[in-house]
Structure 1
Amino acid sequence: MPAARIYQRPKNAMQSGRARTDRWVVEFEQTERQEPDPLTGWAGHANTDSQVRMNFPTLEAAKAYADREGLTYHVIATPERKLKLQAYADNFR
């Protein structure tokens, strides 16, 4: 039975807005060890499930999909947003 993790995308450090951080992601966990290809040397394996990433509008929709498909899953809690409020004048203290 494939395992999956459900999480909410965090805000990228390089972006100022919070676009697409309200979406929930279902991602399959890697079950096989990656082996280097003898010809190219690239690491990979035949199971492509670990490359699949699906977005859902709510946590309930993501859980419903995992239950419907018979996936075992664990939900990774969303980290709490911490606001660092400071004044421009603090730079000159």
Structure 2
Amino acid sequence: MLKRNIAVAGIVVLMAGCSNTSALEAKVDQLTNKVDNLSNQVSALEKKVDANASAINDAKMMAKDAQMAAKEANAKVDNMVSTYKK
């Protein structure tokens, strides 16, 4: 009788351990999927940051070009005004 009770208790413990393992695997799989999704989101955000950095550099270059054009236009206007004053 004692051997039978020990055997039954052992089987119950093993079954409980197996059931927890599958539940644990399911949770690990779920967490793995979440990590994968977050990794994909981070990659997408990094691409957007790179694109924005490129756009910012382009905007800076355009602003410098516009500033130079404005300086040249002001210099021409100043030259025209100085010739009319003489």
TM-score by length of 2: 0.20
Structure exhibiting the larger radius of gyration computed from Cα positions: 2
Task: Return the structure number with greater strand share.
Answer: 1
Q: Which has the higher contact order (CA 8 A, sep 6+)?
A: 1
Task: Return the structure number with greater helix share.
Answer: 2
